[in-house]
Amino acid sequence: MFKQVIYWSQPFGYDSAMLGGILLGARRNNRRDGVTGALVCRHDIYLQLIEGFGAAIDALYARILRDDRHLDVRPLWSGTVGERMFPDWEMLDDPARSWMWSAAEVADDAVDKASADEVRAVFARVARETAVPVLV
């Protein structure tokens, strides 16, 4: 069994250089710790799914809570799953291509109002769209 956590936060000082730094560090650390996941982001929000063994996910989430590049980290869903949604991605970057909320909706708390199923569906769609086709 694997633990998944989905959270959202508001970026502090968001730009492409900061995002590149986040992704570089996440991919290096996640490879080391056996963590996979995806980050859907844009200037006003991070929406992230992290998955792996429980202790690694708990430690990563604790680091995220202390990271000053995030403001107002809010958990949206946490649970156990039989298989990873992003098994081949130390950290997939989806710069809001899969977005479902406008900036105005985010400002009006649409993410907090979304159900766990709606939030998980965002990542299920990202996983389907980025799946590597199997050649037969």
Q: In this structure, what CATH number is given to the domain that contains residue 124?
A: 3.30.70.100
135 within domain boundaries = no
**Total domains, the chain:** 1
Domain-located, residue 65: yes
Nearest to residue 64, comparing CAs of 88, 85, 33? 33
Contact (Cβ atoms closer than 8 angstroms) between residue 96 and residue 40: yes
Burial 5-42 (b: 16+ CB within 10 A, else e): bbbbbebeebeeeebeebbeebbebbeebebbbbbbbb
> What is the rounded CA–CA span in Å between residue 35 and residue 89?
9
The answer to whether position 136 is within a domain reads no
- pLDDT by residue, tens only, the chain of 136 residues: 999 999 999 998 888 888 888 899 999 999 999 999 999 888 888 999 999 999 999 999 999 999 999 999 999 999 999 999 999 999 988 765 556 788 888 889 888 899 999 999 989 988 988 875 555 5
